[in-house]
Amino acid sequence: MPDSRHFLVEFLRLARQFWCSEHKRTIRGAALLLAALTMLQMVMAVLLNRWSAGLFNALEQHSMTDLLTQVGKLAILFVCGIVLTGSHLFVKRNLMIYWRDWMTEHVFTRWMKDGAHYLISHLPGEHDNPDGRIAEDCRIATESAVGMAHSLFYSILMLVGFTQVLWSLSGVVTLDLGFVRLPVYGHLVWIAIVYAATASWLGWQVSRPLTGATNQRQSAEANFRASLLEARENSQAIALIRGEAYERHQFHELFHKIRLIWNDQTKAWRNILMFTSGYSVFSMAFPILVSSPRYILEKITLGTLMQSAQAFQHMASALSWPVNNAGGIAEWRASVERILNLLKVLDDLDAELAKADHVIEVRRGDRPVLAFRDLSIVKYDGTVVAQNINMEIGQGEHVLITGNIFTGAKLFRAIAGIRPWGSGVIELPARGRLFFMPPRPHLPSGTLRNAICYPSSRRVPSEEEIVQAMRLAGLTNLIDKLDNSDKWVHTLSRQELQRLGMVRLLLNRPQWIFLQEAFDSLEPEEEEQMMRLICAQIPDATLLTISHMPNNAAFHPRSLEL
C-alpha cells in the first residue's frame, strides 16, 4: 500500500484534471454554490444554538411571552432550514454525478483504446477486474470525495464559528493552586481541543486495519463476480462436459476468501463502532458535566449552560472529523487506490509502447503490399516465438499460414497493432481496409441487425443487402429476427456465430482479409463452401488464412510457415 503522502499527491493529480476539464465553469460554479450553502448551514447551526439559549432562559424564567417569541423564531428557522437542506442536497448530488461522469469516462476511455484493454493483460500490476474498478470504484471514489470534502469544510466552519461562541461563554475561570491563582480564559475551548484530539488519535489507530481489509474485500468480490460471469458465458461448454462440480468448487473457494476477509473487516468495524458508540455516549454528558459547576454556583443561567454544552458538542464534533469518517475514508481510499493502480498499468503500457527497441514498428507503406521485414515476435517476458520473418504479399494474393497456429494468431495481432512486442517492421498496404475474423466474433447485446453491423460501418447496409448476405451465409432462419433484441452470444450456436461473421465480411467487402480459424466449427464441406463464397463475392481481396481445412492449398497458392 502506498504511503499517505504519495497517495494524496496521486489523487490530487487525478482530481486536478476534473477541475480543469472542458466543463470547468459548470463544475467550479457548482462547487462554489455548495460552499456558499455550507456556510449558510453553519450560520443556521449558530442561530439554533442561540435560539436554544433563549428557549431555556424563557423556561427558567417561566415567561410565556418569551416562550412564544422563541416559537416564532423556530418557525422561521424551520422554513429556512428546509429550503437550505433541499438546495444543498440538489447541488451536492449534481457535483457528485459530474465527477463520477468525468472519472468513469476518463478511465474507460483510456482502458478501451487501441487495444489497451487486451494489452494490459500481459503486464504485471494490480489491474484485475477493470469492470469493477470502472463501475463501482469510480462511483465510491467520486461520491465519497464530494461527501467527505463537504463534511470536512463544514467541520472547519463549525470549528471556527463555535470556538468563538464557546470562548465567549467560557468566561474566566480562576485556577487556585494554593500558592498562586491563575486566570484561565476560554477553558471550555481548551478542554474541547484536548478531548477531541485524544479521541481522534485513538479513533485513527482503531480504524487503520479497515483500509486494508476493505481493499482486499473489493478485490475478492470482483473476482467472485468475474468467475460467475465466466461460467455464464461458457454455460454450454460446462454443461456438455459436466463441469458443474468443478465450477461449484471454484465458486466455493472464491466465496470462502470473501468470508475470511469479511471476518477481518467485521473485526475492524467492531472496534470502530465500539469506540465511536462509547465516544458518542460520553460526548452527550461530558460538556454538561464540565459546565454544570458554574451553573450550580449561579455563575451562568440554564440557557447559557445548555448553549455551552451544545457549542462544546459542535466544536468537539468538528475536531473529531477523522474519527467520525474513519470507515468512509478507508472505503474511499481503497477505491481510489484500485483506480490509480489501473491507470498506472495503462501508463506503464504507454511507456512500454514508447520503447522502440523491443516494439514492432507497424507503419503504412506506399505500395499495395503487406510486407514483413526482419520481423520477430516475442512475449512480454522476452521469449521469442517467431523470428526473421521476411515476406511481401501483394494485393489479391491468398496466403496460408502454416506451422504453429498460436504463433499465427500472434502474427495477426501484431498486424492489427495489439501484439507489439518484438522487433522488425510490418508495412501495411498503402490503401485498403484490414478485416480480421477471429474464431468467435463478438456480438453485442441488442437487435440482431445492430449486432451484425457492429462496431459500425462507413455506411449503413440496406435491408436488401443484409438479407442477401444472410442467405449466402446460410442463415435464412434468422432473417425474421433481425429486429429482435437478445444476448446473441449466448443464444446462438458457435456455427451460427461464425456464419454471422461471414455476413459481416460480405457486408464490409474489405480488401485485406485475415481468417483465424473463422469457420472451424463447421463441417469440412461447409468450411470449403465459405471459402468459395469469399472467392466468388470478393475476388480481388487479399486473403491470409489460419485453418485446418484439408484442401487449403486449393485456395492458397502461397504459404507462410511459422
The ranges assigned to domains in the chain are: 4-353, 393-424+431-561
Give the per-residue SS3 of 233-268: HCHHHHHHCCCHHHHHHHHHHHHHHHHHHHHHHHHH
Q: What are the grid coordinates assigned to 529, written together?
A: 463452401
pLDDT in tens, the chain (562 residues): 456 678 888 999 999 999 998 889 999 999 999 999 999 988 888 888 788 878 888 887 888 888 888 889 889 988 988 999 899 899 999 999 999 999 999 998 888 888 888 888 777 777 777 887 888 889 999 999 999 999 999 988 888 887 877 787 776 666 666 666 677 677 777 777 787 777 777 777 777 777 678 778 877 887 888 888 888 777 767 887 788 888 888 889 899 989 898 888 888 888 877 877 777 677 677 777 777 777 787 777 777 777 777 777 777 778 778 777 877 887 888 889 989 999 998 888 888 777 766 788 889 989 999 999 999 998 877 788 888 999 999 999 999 998 888 888 899 989 988 878 888 999 999 988 899 999 888 888 889 988 888 886 556 788 899 999 999 999 999 999 999 998 888 788 889 999 999 999 999 899 999 999 999 899 989 999 999 999 999 999 999 999 888 788 889 999 888 8
| Edge-to-edge order in the sheet of strand 398-402 | 434-437, 512-516, 542-546, 398-402, 558-561
CA angle 444, 447, 452 (to 5 degrees): 60
Residue 27, SS3 per DSSP: helix
The neighbouring-strand residues paired with 546 are 516
Local structure of residue 360 (DSSP, 8 states): -
Name the 3-class secondary structure at 489: helix
Give every CB contact of residue 551 below 8 A, 6+ residues apart in sequence.
528
Beta bridge partners of 423: 376
C-alpha torsion angle, residues 406, 412, 416, 421 (rounded to 10):
50
501, with CB counted inside 10 A (0-12, 13-18, 19+), is: buried
Q: Give the Å distances, CA to CA, from 206 to 271, 324, 333, 412, 427.
A: 6, 12, 16, 55, 61
Q: What is the pTM assigned to this prediction?
A: 0.70
Q: Which amino acid is at 122?
A: H
Residue 71 neighbours by CB distance under 10 Å: 11
Q: Which of 30, 158, 153 is nearest to 94 (CA)?
A: 30
Whether the CB-CB separation of 562 and 407 falls below 8 Å is answered with yes
The span from the first CA to the last CA of the chain, in angstroms, equals 44
The second-level CATH assignment, the architecture, of 393-424+431-561 is: 3-Layer(aba) Sandwich (3.40)
- Mapped onto helix, strand or coil, the DSSP state of residue 527 is helix
CA trace torsion 241, 242, 244, 247 (10° rounding): -30
Q: Are 557 and 549 in contact (CB under 8 A)?
A: no
- Determine phi and psi for 514, rounding to 5 degrees: -120, 110
Helix segments in 433-493, DSSP class H: 448-452, 463-472, 488-491
CA distance 549 to 562: 17
CA distance 349 to 276: 44
Fold of 4-353: ABC transporter transmembrane region fold (1.20.1560)
291 in Cβ contact with 305 (< 8 Å): yes
Distance CA 51, CA 292 (A): 20
CA distance 513 to 270: 61
Q: Which residue shows C-alpha cell 469493477? A: 132
How far is it, in rounded angstroms, from Cα 164 to Cα 311?
Answer: 9
